[in-house]
Amino acid sequence: MKFKGYKRADGRVGVRNYIAVIPSVFCANKVAEKIAQNIEGVICLKHGVGCSQVGEDLEQTARTLINLANHPNVGGVLIVGLGCERFTPFEFYNEVKKSGKPVEKIIIQEEGDTLQTIDKGTVLLKKLYHKVSNNQRKEFDISELVLGLECGGTDAFSGIAANPSIGVTSDTLISLGGSSIFSETTELLGAEKILMERCVNKKVAELLLKTIKKTERELAISTSDPTYKKRSNLISTGNFSGGISTVVEKALGNIEKAGKSPINGVLKFAETIPNKGLFLMDTPGQDGESTTGLVAGGAQIILFTTGRGTPTGFPIAPVIKVTGNPQTYQKMKINIDFDTSKIITSEKTITEMGKEIFNLVLKVASGEKTKAEILGHDELFIIPRILHY
């Protein structure tokens, strides 16, 4: 099976051809945004980090920004720095340059002020535009695709219709040589034994258990203060309203999106996949942080299940929204790409729905826009901080 994408200098294949303007620190957000606005279609990845971070926290920020800049859906990058940040624009630039893609940098403190930086940055951006805009789609094997598997606004239909369907999609891709990443460690509590049995070896199983137990300990500490008891539920009010009653119940539905394929490894947040197959990425359960990690890890497309419904999208990766709730689909047709509720009414099987989603993935990979893209949604880009208790 084939799709039409963009070959990058590092050998990976993108499904989009964006130019990204990326600030190395939050202080440069507005300048970066103003530069990006001067050329239609350019993406600005604004964020809230890059300064006053140390150790593992700063390393995670650097890894995330570098891997997003190096992402195959990005054809060219303009880095906008302030000049005194801890994650320096020079480190950022040098790491992106290694990928072989066109990259430029500009530093506000060296240019003198906001307006001068915007003017010079726009000139550099036009230079990038002329290099990237001529890229043409070519046919590539399906094995070049990496899916990110995410769920948000879970309800009772997610675990019995939407998640199992994209699990079939994931298994189909992996059987053809492709890859998938699932995440949301906080939403795996109680399902670790099931997942360990699917690991390719004992080392991966032990790392998976260690990762889940670490998250469990951190949650136990952060929810132990009785002062904040009413703020300590590990599943949202929307999950409760949608028919999810416990963390374990949510986990058992959550893991369905990872299909039945063997788990090849456990990744750090925003770590790129080392080879083909299925991987778990250690991420928070929040939709934005989790999706950011998946895309930085190399996912060109996100399959996002939602029972309650959500309009959100990601700046550089198409997000395909899938629901199992017929009422949610009717209410949010403009936001949701695929309805699996025919499983509930016995009109279609899980396997049939998974195959149909797979066909949609191929269309999106070749350029068909998702509803989140059409509507301009980009809210899912959030880089998390690492808190040490």
- Convert 213-238 to b/e letters by CB count within 10 Å (16 or more is b): eebbeebeeeeeeeeeeeeeeebbeb
Contact between residue 325 and residue 386 where contact means Cβ atoms under 8 Å apart: no
* C-alpha to C-alpha distance for 139 and 120, rounded to whole angstroms: 37
Give pairs for 247-250: CB < 8 Å, separation 24+: 247/187, 247/189, 247/190, 248/189, 248/190, 248/191, 249/159, 250/154, 250/159, 250/187
29-37: long-range pairs with CB below 8 Å, 24+: 30/114, 31/80, 31/108, 31/114, 31/117, 31/118, 31/121, 32/78, 32/80, 32/121, 34/114, 34/118, 35/78, 35/80, 35/117, 35/118, 35/121, 35/122, 35/125, 36/125
Contact 85, 22 (CB under 8 A): no
Q: What angle do CA 68, 291, 89 make, to 5 degrees?
A: 25
Largest CA distance in the chain: 65
When computed from its CA atoms, the radius of gyration of the chain, rounded to whole angstroms, is 21
Of 3.30.460.10, 3.40.50.150, 3.40.50.300, 3.40.50.261, which CATH number belongs to 18-132? 3.40.50.261
| Distant-in-sequence, close-in-space partners of 194: CB < 8 Å, separation ≥ 6 | 252, 255
Q: ∠276-281-284 over CA atoms, to 5°?
A: 160
Q: Which helix (H) or strand (E) holds 109?
A: helix 108-111
> Can you give the pLDDT at residue 379?
97
Strands (E), 172-292: 179-182, 263-267, 277-281
Instruction: Please name the residue that has the structure tokens 């670490």.
Output: 214
Q: Which residues contact 326 (CB under 8 A, 6 or more apart)?
A: 339, 341, 344, 345
| Six token digits for residue 368 | 């068909």
Structure tokens at 4: 């039409």
Evaluated on CA atoms 110, 112, 117, 120, the torsion sign reads negative
pLDDT in tens, the chain (389 residues): 999 999 999 999 999 999 999 999 999 999 999 999 999 999 999 999 999 899 999 999 999 999 999 999 999 999 999 999 999 999 999 999 999 999 999 999 999 999 999 999 999 999 999 999 999 999 999 999 999 999 987 788 889 999 999 999 999 999 999 999 999 998 898 899 999 999 999 999 999 999 999 988 887 877 777 787 766 566 666 665 666 556 767 777 789 999 999 999 999 999 999 999 999 999 998 999 999 999 999 999 999 999 999 999 999 999 999 999 999 999 999 999 999 999 999 999 999 999 999 999 999 999 999 999 999 999 999 999 987 54
| Structure-token match 């497309």, residue found | 301
CA 246 to chain CA mean position, Å = 26
Output the six-digit token pair for 148.
């990110």
Closest CA to 318 of 301, 336, 332: 301
Whole-model pTM? 0.94
Place of tokens 């303009």: 78
**Bridge partners, residue 280, by sequence:** 182, 266
- Strand partners for 146: 179
Every domain of the chain and the residues it spans: 18-132, 143-375
